[in-house]
Structure 1
Amino acid sequence: MTSSTPAVGNAVTVLLYEFPEEYAQLVHKRFPSVRVLTAKDAASLDEQVSQADVLLAHRFPVEIFDKALRLRWFQCASAGIDTILPIRDRIGALIVTNVRGMHGEVIADYVMTGIAMMHWNLPQFLHDQSRKAWHPRALAPLAGQTLGVVGLGSIGTAIARRGKAFGMTVIGSKRDINEPVDGVDKLFPPESVAELLRLSDFVVLAVPHVPETVRLIGREQLRLMRRSAVLVNIARGSAVAESELIEALKAGTIAGAVLDVFEREPLAADSPLWTMSNVIVTPHIAGWMSDYDNRVLEIFNDNLERYLDKTPLRNVVDLNRGY
């Protein structure tokens, strides 16, 4: 058990789970009146969670929820809060916040890199290079191609802006289509996502992990897409029926896929996706920045100041919607 300051009176106690001790020291330096604890592993978390008013962690450890009797606020260090959803009916007045808005630009970098690689068929050029084979080929520019973004939260909106900067026609799907979205030429409600699939050269999934998005893309949806289309998934692996996607990729139902997330992670060594020439596989890194935890700490410290001042927190999650 570690503590930046001894427990005193009614001091707010913050528990950092799976963050280095130096982060606890930084929090305490900014908020000297706050008691800061760190838990490096499940055992120390189990020992200390009963003392915590505030928990900062990359995921919500549901296994210790019954011991977290003092917990009033959980700051999730990721945008997705799906780890808490199984117990959302039990959490009462617990405030849940996330770090949405932090990942948008870097994930947009990833998406546009993947789109450009697939559009130019760079995997094939790299294969040709390895064999010293000279095979020139021409293609249309990305400008004028249609980018379909399913889910226009902070990440999807950043992707849409980047696509528009590439000169693409950008269409998107979101719950409320009454308010325009910067960079999006046409909006579709969720029930009309089929039309978005038909119109898109590149389909990007940027939806949250909620029951409505599980297996959002399967055999039927893939058949609606253009045979020249590419699917990009930076949402959750559960959004795609993986075996049906593999069938479609093998059959040429769609041209290719850029996949950063999978139904099970790490992706199994025997998955056909690893060796398919029309697929780019990455290990869930699209939003993983080199200074990730520092950015999390900036958001957390801002929210902690608001919490101590009893003012509204940033990025409060609506657990009924799941994001």
Structure 2
Amino acid sequence: MQTTLGNFKHAKIRGKYIQVHACINNVRYRFSTKLRVTARNLLYVENNYMQLIEKHKQEVEQNNNIGLDIATYGREILEAHCEQRKENTYIRYLNVFKKYIVSRIGYLEVAEIKPKNAREIFANFNDITATNKSIVLNLLKLIFTHAVIDGLVSANPFLHLKCSTQRVIKEDRNKPFSMQEMKQILSKCDNALLQLYLFIAFFTGMRPNEILALNVKDIDLSLGNIYVNKSVSHNKLCTTKTNAARYVEITATLKQYLTSVLKDKSGYIFLDSKKGFMNEKRIAYNFKKLLKKLDIQNNTLYSTRHTFASLMLQNGEDMHWVSKQLGHKDLSTTLQYYVKYIKQDKERGQEFNRAFEDLEKQEVA
């Protein structure tokens, strides 16, 4: 029998596996069958979802009896829910789950967590960064939302918790370089591949993982643009951060440099000795060595992006053009981070004032 994927009421595709989705007697069921996605398995789940629900209820009851812990249950939920996300996002969530949740509260039984002690449990993560703490809370909310569906708990104990907006002030490691520092970095870099990376970074504002994914054919020197449609994550090609492609204009200085450097190159530009994609950490390591040698402030690779935006705006470039180069979805994102760098014209508004004063003089006359 032939069938198409995804046209069933109770058998739903989630990542690599099939889930049962059903509502019986006002009770909602949503769980992974651990069956791989094939037409035959989808048909089997659709025709036998009631039996699968009964089996699932028995397994939940058994798990309740033996005391299902957060580490075991959470990993199952995370794998089922996050597989359809971008690979780098999934890996980030999995790393936070293992490093913080499993190591600190993974031994706690799911059924024992109640709203009254959720705040005390979440206090175990007060010492980590605001970003990781936010991910921890989102993961706990996700895990216990499924725990409610599976009948392990009656309510999500973390549902109404929020991360504090107060952040610890720390050294800005993405501070933009000055024009003089940028010129010194580019002129004193004796690592050819790093110099190529830095020229592209400083003169386009591209994200580090977008630069590492560049192929020579993405760079059109005759039209004066770079086609940005992919990035590198964990040594594999993936989509850009915004899942959108864009064209980045090549400025005159960069065009002159690339014309000379890329003359005899083909294929992917930033490859290691084994012909795999270059590791961002390796580029960052060499970059830090260069900064130390030049006695320039310690910074991350991302600071090159901020340098591009800040210097362009300080020198009067159009905000919309800068935003387009950076690949921001809308202008508000650019304004949020870079409005302080916009060149201030002291004569701004003077023409309006003069026109108003001239009108007053005419009326008096």
TM-score normalised by structure 2 residue count: 0.21
TM-score (norm: length of structure 1): 0.23
Higher normalized helix content (fraction of residues): 2
The structure having more radius of gyration, on CA atoms, is: 2
